[in-house]
Every structure is written in C-alpha cells, then in structure tokens.
C-alpha cells in the first residue's frame, strides 16, 4: 500500500496535465489565425501553429506510451511481489510443520 501512496500524486498530476492538454487541443486554442489581406503572413503563422500542435501531439503520444510501459512494469512488479509472498508463506508453513513434528 505504501507503494501506491508514492505513485498517487504523480498519476494525479499526469492526469491533470493530460486533461488540460486535451482541453486545449479540443477547443482549438492557439490554432486560429487572423487573416490579414494586406500581407500574406497567415500561411506562415498557420504552419508554425500546426508545427507546434504536431509537437504537442507527439509529446502526448510519448507520454501515453511511457505511461503504458510504466503500468506494465508496475503490474509485473506486483506479480513478482505476490509470487515472493506466496513462496514465503509456503516456507513458513513448511517450517511450522517441521517444528511441530520435532524433526530437528
């Protein structure tokens, strides 16, 4: 249980960042470009915004992939811990039986 307490703030922070980033992408914040008929800078601004959006999406994908790897590692570690606990329980029971039968 102590392991989960240490991970909980990290997961909550990550969920908050993911939620905020998702809200920015879904509302289109920063992706609107004002069109100025006197100059043709809208295509430059639009491509810069698209590039920033692509970079943000790529970062989010990398974060999601890392979270999946971390979750798989945590599950594997938990299985290992459960296995070690079962082995220890078996050894304790075996030792108790050995001691009760006086087979020292």
- Please write the tens of the pLDDT for every residue from 59-85: 999 999 999 999 999 999 999 999 999
* Domain locations along the chain: 75-104
18 Cβ neighbours under 8 A, 6+ residues apart: 60, 63
pLDDT at res. 24: 46
pLDDT at res. 35: 44
Return d(Cα 86, Cα 23) in angstroms, integer: 45
> CB pairs under 8 A, 24+ apart, for 60-69?
60/18, 60/21, 63/14, 63/18, 67/14
Return d(Cα 12, Cα 8) in angstroms, integer: 6
pLDDT at res. 86: 94
Q: What is the pTM of this model?
A: 0.45
pLDDT at 87 over 90: yes
Evaluate whether 98 touches 91 at the Cβ level (below 8 Å): no
The closest of 23, 47, 26, 43 to 35, measured between CA atoms, is 43
pLDDT at 3 over 60: no
Q: Which tops the pLDDT comparison, 73 or 18?
A: 73
């Amino acid at each position: 249980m102590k392991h989960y307490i240490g991970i909980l703030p990290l997961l909550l922070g990550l969920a908050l960042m993911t939620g905020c980033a998702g809200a920015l992408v879904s509302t289109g914040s920063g992706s609107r470009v004002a069109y100025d008929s006197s100059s043709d800078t809208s295509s430059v601004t639009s491509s810069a915004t698209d590039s920033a959006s692509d970079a943000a999406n790529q970062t989010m994908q990398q974060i999601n992939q890392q979270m999946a790897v971390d979750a798989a590692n945590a599950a594997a570690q938990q299985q290992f811990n459960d296995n070690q606990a079962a082995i220890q329980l078996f050894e304790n029971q075996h030792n108790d039986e050995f001691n009760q039968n006086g087979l020292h």
